[in-house]
Amino acid sequence: MPRSRFSGVLSTPRVDVIIDMGNPFLNLSLDGFLKIGTVGALRVAAEESYDCVRAGSISTHKAEHTLKKMCKEGAYWGTVAGVYVGMEYGVERIRDKRDWKNALIGGAITGALISAASNNNKDKVMVDAITGGAIATAAKFLNYLT
């Protein structure tokens, strides 16, 4: 019987939140969601900070808007990453191999799922699946290179 354990570790310079869901699939997805969600939220924060510096003023209204946008975009990036990581892991388990084709298939499934969830029509879903696969493959290659 799988037990769900919850343990939080937070150290300042290296942000490392460890939450054990008792299942490698869920762990990976959640890890992806949290990490990439943070990156997405920070991107908005950086962009809006630059906006404030440029405009030379900051208002409560603006701060509220930024926070909302951070949550929204963080959740979006996190969802995409969580689905992708889960899918890639699933494909790896099914194919029993570890190569760039996992990224291709995982990216394609992620693109299709996210696109289908956004209520796009069938053609758009296919095109997004192709784009998702291509981006995931490119990212994989780039990280093998360096």
For binding to a copy of itself (CB under 8 A), which residues are involved? 28, 31-32, 35-36, 39-40, 42-43, 46-47, 50, 54, 77, 81, 84-85, 88-89, 92, 102, 123, 126-127, 130-131, 133-134, 137-143, 145-146
- Cα angle value 12/85/100 (rounded, 5°): 120
CB nearer to a copy of itself: give 120 or 131: 131
Please state the closest distance from residue 81 (CB atom) to a copy of itself, in A. 6
Query: For a copy of itself, which is the closer residue by CB, 60 or 138?
Result: 138
| Sign of the dihedral defined by the CA atoms of residues 100, 103, 109, 115, in that order | negative
> Which C-beta is closer to a copy of itself: that of 60 or that of 135?
135
In the complex, the smallest distance separating the C-beta of residue 118 from a copy of itself, rounded to whole angstroms, is: 18
Residues 6+ apart with CB under 8 A from 78: 32, 33, 34, 36, 37, 38, 40
Q: What share of the chain is helix, strand, coil (3-state, %, to 5)?
A: 75, 0, 25
Nearest distance from C-beta of residue 28 to a copy of itself, angstroms:
6
Minimum distance of a copy of itself from residue 76's CB (angstroms):
12
As a residue count, the chain comes to: 146
Ramachandran category for residue 119: left, alpha or beta (phi over 0 → left; psi -120 to 50 → alpha): left
**Residue closer to a copy of itself (CB basis): 67 or 135:** 135
